[in-house]
Amino acid sequence: YQNIKSLLFISLIMKATATTNANIALIKYWGRRNDELVLPTNNSISFTMDDQLKTITTVEFSDKLQHDQLYIDETHAKPHEVERASAFLDVVRKMAGIKKKAVVHSQNSFPKSAGLASSASAFAALAAAASKAAGLNLSEKELSMLARRGSGSASRSIHGGAVEWVAGSSNDGSDCYAKQISPPEKWANLRNVIAITNSHEKKVGSASGMKQTIKSSSLYLARVKSVEGRLETVRNAILKGDFEAMSDAIMQESNNMHATMLDSWPPIVYLNSTSFEIIDKVLDFNLRYGKSVAAYTFDAGPNAHVYTTSKYEKEMFDILQGMSKVEKVMSCKVGNGVRILDKHLF
């Protein structure tokens, strides 16, 4: 009887904790073919980072709550953040057939909205913790499809190593998911030397920014065509484990995305003068070595991600550290995908 009672008690606790890491794209997601289902116009490829860029999230569903509650880094989240998390939890509730509201605590190992793709690790961790707490037992593929609904790039953070998010073509999103294309062990020598050039929250959110680009940039259609070639170059280089074979394509891809942003109206400008100085430094670095041993890439923000190999890591780190306007430099390795933790945040 005691056993049955404790079993019953355990099954009533709808609480789970998950951790995931941020990912930084080599081939970017910038544009949707369906807003509600978050279906992108093109495939994207990223590396998942190590635990320096991680989010831990605990979710508990309970009958006692009237509203969802969200705490980020131990403080009450802003109303628009609660609204976004709540809309995502609605997707989970619908899948699980439950109505209970949830308490969510989320902790980042890095500053939120510093352009370090925090929404990717945030929604990947939320997807894993919330689905587990709701009693759903999703595969990693299903988890990537769920995380996608919160934030497109979150679909990629479910997996470790090199990850491709497949855009698919169906209208219901059933063929749109992320998959690992190379495990982290294969990229033990890869580094992302990150230069924080501005740690403030970004001005234009990605979702509205990409809409603005599709609507107004005449370069956007050319981007959608040209991204296919870069995708193939990067995918092949990843499968071969050859960093230098993809480094030019990585830089061209970042330039191409930021060109369509600048071509949007009103223009979207994420890069600052320090970002451009870093671009120069990386190009000079490669000229000096006579080959592309480092590659910069920028997301929806001015912080530089300079991918290189361990051989050049220290030299690149020192160059970026020596720049007066660079606030902080950190070096990340390639990391793992989603993990369920036994220890809860509350």
Q: Is 300 in the site for ligand 2P0 (CB under 6 A)?
A: yes
Residue in 120, 23, 122, 116 with CA at minimum distance from that of residue 72: 122
- Closest CB to ligand 2P0 among 208 and 236? 208
Whole-number minimum distance, CB 123 to ligand 2P0, in Å? 8
- Minimum CB distance to ligand 2P0 smaller for 29 or for 312: 29
Which is nearer to ligand 2P0, 28 or 105 (by Cβ)? 28
User: Does residue 119 belong to the site contacting ligand 2P0 (CB under 6 A)?
Assistant: yes
* Residue where the block lists tokens 């009887």: 1
Nearer to ligand 2P0, 23 or 69 (CB): 23
Using CB under 6 A as the binding rule, whether residue 28 contacts ligand 2P0 is answered as: yes
Radius of gyration of the chain (CA): 20
Residue 104 in tokens: 């969510």
Alpha carbon of 45 to those of 143, 160, 305: distances in Å? 17, 12, 15
Calculated CA dihedral for residues 137, 143, 146, 147, nearest 10 degrees: 130
Question: Rounded to whole angstroms, how far apart are CA atoms 200 and 179?
Answer: 32
Q: In what order do the strands lie in the sheet with 190-196?
A: 294-297, 304-309, 190-196, 328-332
Cβ nearer to ligand 2P0, comparing 30 with 187: 30
Max CA distance (Å), the chain: 75
d(CA 102, CA 82): 11
Helix axes 118-133, 79-96, angle to 10 degrees: 40
In the region spanning residues 211 to 250, those forming contacts with ligand 2P0, defined by CB under 6 A, are none
261 Cα distance to chain centroid: 19
Query: Hey, which residues between 176 and 215 contact ligand 2P0 (CB under 6 A)?
Result: 205-207
Show the tokens assigned to 81: 């953040």
Check residue 29 for interaction with ligand 2P0 (CB under 6 A): yes
Q: In angstroms, what is the minimal distance from the CB of 300 to ligand 2P0? A: 4
Taking the complex as a whole, the smallest distance from the CB of residue 28 to ligand 2P0 amounts, in Å, to 4
For ligand 2P0, the closer of residues 29 and 285 by Cβ is 29
Q: Is residue 74 classed as helix, strand or coil in its secondary structure? A: coil
Question: Does residue number 30 form part of the binding site for ligand 2P0 (CB under 6 A)?
Answer: yes
Site for ligand 2P0 in 36-95 (CB under 6 A): 44
Question: Does 120 sit near ligand 2P0 (CB under 6 A)?
Answer: yes
Least distance (Å) between residue 201 CB and ligand 2P0: 11
Residues that bind ligand 2P0 in the complex, under the rule CB under 6 A = 25, 28-30, 44, 117, 119-120, 151-153, 205-207, 299-300
